[in-house]
Structure 1
Amino acid sequence: MKNKIKLACIIDDDKIYVNLVKKIIETKKLCDHLLIFKDGKEGIDYFETLLQNFKEEQIPEVILLDLNMPIMDGWEFLERFTKIKNKFNNPITLYVVSSSINAIDIDKAKSLSTVHNYLVKPVRIDELEAVFNKTA
């Protein structure tokens, strides 16, 4: 059996979506702990602070990132996160999770080396399980 994900992160301003995904993750026991940030700024602030003094257990193994958020959107987060991602020793698998079905958004996200895959909302339970079992 694969090692269970210890820490995952959701960066999304949609409270209903976040609560639904959180409930699925908890019910299916897909990870031990979950960080939730309501916009890209909160998320990037967390990661930039981690660079100063981080412990391995504070680095999420999986990030689910929305594109359309206030304050700092997913594109701005990706731009800044790409610059610091390799400074972490642990691999971080990032998924863009968006309601956008625009081919331009999907292609742009998938073209970034930081993005593992693009999932369209609403995310199905089997897709989430695949993400957390590292098969998506």
Structure 2
Amino acid sequence: MLDQILCIDDDPITLMLCKKVISRALFSKEIITLQNGEEAINYFNNLKQISNQDSATVLPQLIFLDLNMPVMGGWEFLDYFIDEKFSEFNSIKVVILSSTIDPEDLEKSKQYPMVFDFLSKPISQSMLLYLKEKLE
């Protein structure tokens, strides 16, 4: 079981489904939800400040990321997140969870070393089982 997962999606129904499926599967102890990439960048900037003061800060071990969101989408988030100033979070794996499975998006995702997988919505028990095996 993971300690913490971050779900970034603008759809409240998708976020609710993520929380339910992840909880039922006992996949993670804590699930944090954010509604766009900008909220996620702010979240990680706050984590940086906290971790500078407290070395016991819990970091998400996995991020479920939607691509199409208002304010800041998934690609923009990844462009920020790959920057050197977020290097302390390099070990966090990102799973793109998108309703579009465009082959160009799949190819583009390979440019980001933190992208661990590219899966189609909605999240499911079988998807979590697959990810659990892949993470081990």
* TM superposition score normalised by structure 2: 0.87
Query: How much has 1:120 moved relative to structure 2?
Result: 1.1
Which residue of structure 2 aligns with residue 7 of structure 1? 4
Which residue of structure 1 aligns with residue 122 of structure 2? 122
Equivalent residues in 2 for 1:72-111, closer than 5 Å: 72-83=72-83, 84-88=85-89, 91-111=91-111
Identity fraction in percent:
34
**Is the contact made by 2:50 and 2:57 (CA closer than 8 Å) also made in structure 1?**
no
Unmatched runs of 5 consecutive residues or more in structure 1: none
Tell which deviates more after alignment, 47-56 or 94-103: 47-56
Query: How much has 1:87 moved relative to structure 2?
Result: 1.8
Partner of 2:118, secondary structure, is strand
Size of the aligned set, in residue pairs, is 131
Deviations 1:82-122 (A, max 9, x none): 1144224x721111111111111111012321211101112
Equivalent residues in 2 for 1:6-45, closer than 5 Å: 6-45=3-42
In angstroms, what is the RMSD of aligned CA positions? 1.7
**Is the contact made by 1:7 and 1:57 (CA closer than 8 Å) also made in structure 2?**
no
Which residue of structure 1 aligns with residue 69 of structure 2? 69
Unmatched runs of 5 consecutive residues or more in structure 2: none
**Is the contact made by 1:12 and 1:66 (CA closer than 8 Å) also made in structure 2?**
yes
Tell which deviates more after alignment, 59-68 or 21-30: 21-30
